Amino acid sequence: MALSGHIACLECDLVLPMPELDEGQRANCPRCGHTLTSRPLDGFQRSLAFTLAASVFLMAACMFPFLTMKAGGLENAITLLQSAREIYENGQPVVAVLVGAFILVIPAAVLLGMLMLLVPLLQGRNAAWLVASGRLVFGLSPWSMVEVFVIGVIVSLVKLASMATMVLGISFWSYVAFSICMTAAVSSLDRMTVWDSIERVSVR
Amino acid sequence: MSGFPSNTAAAQGWANCHTCTKLSSAELHHCPRCGAALHLRLTDSLHQTLALLVTAVLLYIPANVFPIMTTDQLGQSIDSTIIGGVVLLWQHGSYPVASVIFIASVLVPVGKVLSLGLLCASVARKDVTRMRQRTSLYRVTEFVGRWSMVDVFVVAILVALIQLGGLLVIRPGVAALAFSGVVIVTMFAAERFDPRLIWDQLNADALEERNLGFGNE
């Protein structure tokens, strides 16, 4: 068998001919069912659009009040960053760093990596940082826990609803929009398609 | 060549790059496209997965014994553990929230450790049954891992919000650290398990053994 023109399933190692997909199609491994590759409609454009939208929402999420609690004449407003900082100041610095990384730093790094990947690839140009950006995006995205944090916030709101009045700030809504855009951006980015494109522009 | 089933890339001496999915000769050691290290199979996959699972189990003990947060109210301190929090919410009638925390903090981590342990054991036993289902089990295990962080995020929000001077203050506990450890370690454990090992049992020797086994019955 010749090496070129073949791929192997990442989850069962079955050798398969390179799939030729049209937009909107997906290839699954016939043996184990793993999704080998997919070509979402307008994959790169769509991904870039959601990446840009997610970046704007993330910036907005860092600038305004996130949540405000009102109880018995007392009021306490927090920003997104404070959710990590207060843990730091209350004796759990490691947890604070992890929370900050999972909800803010890693997602921001993934977004930056996607911008640096998608802009040159859409123009069909090579760039010195393409390989590094690809490794960053696909290596870090499992550690971006944006949607999980949204669920965590909702759980906290329900927990506190009985004892205080909760006000959802602009940052909260921005973060929810950011999580939706981020998920859409990452899910319309196919690993094999991205790397094939990187190879194509760098050989030229 | 070697003991790999003939329809696999490994039998041809080809390594599939985990980062960029390019097939290359395993003799290259590094992927020519993205530079990641190449292996026919993840090195020492079962041992590393098991070692990480044991670590997760050990961390899960302090995560449940020690308080995940402490509430200081008018000079009085109340510790709450993960399970204690779930029970309290349930008693107050917050069933959906209690369920979310229970699933994220108990079912998911325990389920992950059990399913990865089961997968390792099945590979070590050279099991050749239900390969597709076991691969699906692996896929689900890998997917749900991050969702266990919910409770730590809840603590982060409560600690930040509830800082009402001397009246009411919430502080994070040691269990938050231990539990974050559980989540991270189990995520690494899932990453270190190589699902291709499940399918490698389909090689000629294993099938022959299995057929002989059936013949004896």
pLDDT in tens, chain B (217 residues): 467 888 899 988 999 999 999 999 988 889 999 899 999 999 899 999 999 999 999 999 999 999 999 998 888 899 999 999 899 889 988 898 899 999 999 999 999 999 999 999 999 998 888 999 999 999 999 999 889 999 999 999 999 998 877 788 899 999 999 999 999 999 999 999 999 999 998 876 656 655 554 444 3
Q: What is the pTM of this model?
A: 0.91
Query: Are residues A74 and B164, on separate chains, in Cβ contact within 8 Å?
Result: yes
Note every long-range contact of A115-120, with CB atoms under 8 Å and residues 24 or more positions apart, other chains counting.
A115/A48, A115/A51, A115/A52, A115/A55, A117/A194, A117/A198, A118/A44, A118/A47, A118/A48, A118/A51, A119/A48, A120/A201
Distance CA(B10)–CA(B14), nearest Å, equals 5
- State percent of chain A over pLDDT 90: 75
Residues of A in contact with B162 (CB under 8 A): 69, 76, 160
- Interface confidence, given as ipTM, is 0.91
Best residue in B74, B157, B170 to probe A by mutation, most A CBs within 10 Å? B157
pLDDT digits (tens, 9 = 90+) for A74-97: 888 999 998 889 999 988 999 999
Query: Are residues B135 and A33, on separate chains, in Cβ contact within 8 Å?
Result: yes
- State percent of chain B over pLDDT 70: 92
Residues of B in contact with A145 (CB under 8 A): 146, 149, 153
B29 lies within 8 A of chain A by CB: no
What are residue B170's phi and psi, to 5 degrees?
-115, 130
Q: Which of B25, B160, B199 sits opposite A12 (nearest CB)?
A: B199
Interaxial angle between packed helices A43-63 and A80-89, expressed in degrees from 0 to 180 and rounded to the nearest 10: 60
Q: What is the predicted pLDDT for the residue at B217?
A: 34
**pLDDT grade, residue A42 (50/70/90)?**
confident
B22 lies within 8 A of chain A by CB: yes
Q: What is the predicted pLDDT for the residue at A109?
A: 97
Helical (H) or strand (E) element with B73: strand B69-73
Distance CA(A76)–CA(A94), nearest Å, equals 25
Q: In chain A, where does DSSP find H-type helix?
A: 43-63, 80-89, 93-100, 106-123, 130-140, 146-161, 170-187, 191-203
Selection from A22, A20, A190 nearest residue A114 by Cα: A190
Distance from CA of B184 to the nearest CA of A (A): 9
Q: What is the predicted pLDDT for the residue at A164?
A: 86
Query: Are residues A152 and B156, on separate chains, in Cβ contact within 8 Å?
Result: yes
**Bridge-partner residues for B69, per DSSP?**
B80, B172
- Neighbouring CB atoms inside 10 A of B120's CB total 19
Q: Which of B21, B136, B150 sits opposite A191 (nearest CB)?
A: B21
Q: How many inter-chain contacts (A to B, CB under 8 Å) are there? A: 204
Average pLDDT on A137-164 reads: 92
B162 lies within 8 A of chain A by CB: yes
Q: What is the predicted pLDDT for the residue at B215?
A: 40
For residue A191, give Cα distances in angstroms to A37, A196, B18: 7, 9, 10
Query: Are residues A134 and B20, on separate chains, in Cβ contact within 8 Å?
Result: yes
For residue A87, give Cα distances in angstroms to A92, A103, A152, B82, B193: 6, 14, 15, 17, 33
Residues of B in contact with A148 (CB under 8 A): 146-147, 149-150, 153
Query: Are residues B150 and A148, on separate chains, in Cβ contact within 8 Å?
Result: yes
Selection from B127, B130, B174 nearest residue B152 by Cα: B174
- Neighbouring CB atoms inside 10 A of A151's CB total 18
The gap between the terminal CA atoms of chain A, to the nearest Å, is 27
Interaxial angle between packed helices B150-161 and A80-89, expressed in degrees from 0 to 180 and rounded to the nearest 10: 80
Q: What is the predicted pLDDT for the residue at A1?
A: 63
What structural domains and CATH numbers belong to chain B?
A: 7-40 (no CATH), 44-200 (1.20.140)
Q: Which of B33, B164, B200 sits opposite A195 (nearest CB)?
A: B33
Query: Are residues B160 and A195, on separate chains, in Cβ contact within 8 Å?
Result: no
Q: What is the predicted pLDDT for the residue at B1?
A: 45
Residue with tokens 């602009």: A170
| Chain A residue at shortest CA distance from B133 | A32
Q: CA A86: distance to chain centroid? A: 25
